[in-house]
Amino acid sequence: MIYTEEAGAGFILAGLTMNGAGKIFGVSALTAFELSPHGKGGWKSSVIHTFAGYPKDGSYAYGTPVRDKKGNIYGTTQEGGKSDYGTVYKLTRLKKRWQYQILYEFTGGPKDGYYPFAGVTLDKAGNIYGTTALQNQSGFGTVFELEAPVGEGKYTESLIFTFNNTDGSQPLGGLLFGSGNQLYGTTYSGGSSGNGIVFAIAP
């Protein structure tokens, strides 16, 4: 055992990511943490962000965080944000601390999804792709894209796909890129059997 989450910080449901120096990054429901190799087989742990929750921060980070080429960390929280429908966040390593930033806050309603359970996937241009478990119009979830800003602008969200149950429902897993730049993923339920599907989408 190399790390035990503090009492009250929530369960660890997500996987881990590692950088070239062997440092490990992960999240629990209410914290983001870093584990650094220390001594002979030891590890030094530190909390790099505590999710404060609605309305100014996210909460319940269940998706596995990912890193870009610069070492920035991206992920989702299932709840929190202005509408308490979840967020996409970024952690940037500064000289002596990590800087936390919310990139997008889900609004629900007929034109947006909510409750992003899985983590996100990045393309080479820095655009962010992910899923929400639910969506108010259909109720069955979405695949979304956050287009990277130019300069100091904000990310722009668009829904790539909205599930209707016959073609899948509740995409709880992450996405991956395949040949032809297609996105692949799964749904928890829906489809002809009601037991979920594997899907491919061209963004």
pLDDT, tens only, 112-141: 999 999 999 999 999 999 999 998 777 899
CATH code, residues 1-105: 2.40.10
Chain centroid to CA 186: how far? 15
Which residues belong to CATH 2.40.10 in the chain? Answer: 1-105
Handedness of CA 75, 76, 80, 82 (dihedral sign): positive
Q: Beta partners for 104? A: 88
Cβ(203)–Cβ(183) under 8 Å? yes
Cα gap 118→137, rounded to integer Å: 20
Per-residue pLDDT at 21: 93
Residue 7 has pLDDT above 90, yes or no: no
- What mean pLDDT is reported for the chain? 93
Q: Is 179 exposed, middle or buried (0-12, 13-18, 19+ CB in 10 A)?
A: exposed
Residue 9 has pLDDT above 80, yes or no: no
Rounded to 5 degrees, what are φ and ψ at 180?
A: 70, 15
For residue 58, name the pLDDT band (cuts at 50, 70, 90).
Answer: very high
For residue 111, name the pLDDT band (cuts at 50, 70, 90).
Answer: confident
Can you read off the two tokens belonging to residue 130? 């992910």
Per-residue pLDDT at 31: 96
pLDDT digits (tens, 9 = 90+) for 12-53: 999 999 999 999 999 999 999 999 998 787 899 999 999 999
Residue 200 has pLDDT above 90, yes or no: yes
pTM (two decimals): 0.94
Q: Beta partners for 190? A: 195
Cα gap 38→200, rounded to integer Å: 42
- Count the neighbouring beta carbons within 10 Å of the beta carbon of residue 152: 5
Per-residue pLDDT at 137: 73
The stretch 165-192 carries a mean pLDDT of 95
Chain centroid to CA 131: how far? 8
Residue 86 has pLDDT above 80, yes or no: yes
Per-residue pLDDT at 136: 78
Per-residue pLDDT at 122: 97
User: Which H or E element spans position 145?
Assistant: strand 142-147
